[in-house]
Amino acid sequence: MTTIEAIASDEQLPVAVLCEALAAPRSSLYRRRTPKPEPKARPTPARALAPDERAAVLDVLHSEPQRRS
């Protein structure tokens, strides 16, 4: 897509015309121009286990009687 932008800026041709001639969707070109927003951190659920409780549960689950072969 940078080729289309380079030609458009050098030759003063409209992007729509270039994309149509090259069978490239304009939406992809415009999507690449805008940066992706950073994903927001998910909030901790109100019913989540505390870190020490979570560690205790994982210890039980990883103990030998709980493992399956």
- Tell me: the pLDDT tens digits for 9-55? 777 788 888 888 888 888 888 888 888 889 999 999 999 999 999 99
Q: Is 6's pLDDT higher than 80?
A: no
The encoded tokens of residue 65 equal: 């009687």
Instruction: Report the pLDDT value the prediction gives residue 45, as an integer from 0 to 100.
Output: 94
**Residues 34, 22, 13: CA angle, nearest 5 degrees:** 70
Instruction: Report the pLDDT value the prediction gives residue 51, as an integer from 0 to 100.
Output: 94
Residues 64, 60: Cα–Cα separation, whole Å:
9
The answer to whether the CB of 4 falls within 8 A of the CB of 24 is: yes
Q: Is the pTM of this model over 0.85?
A: no
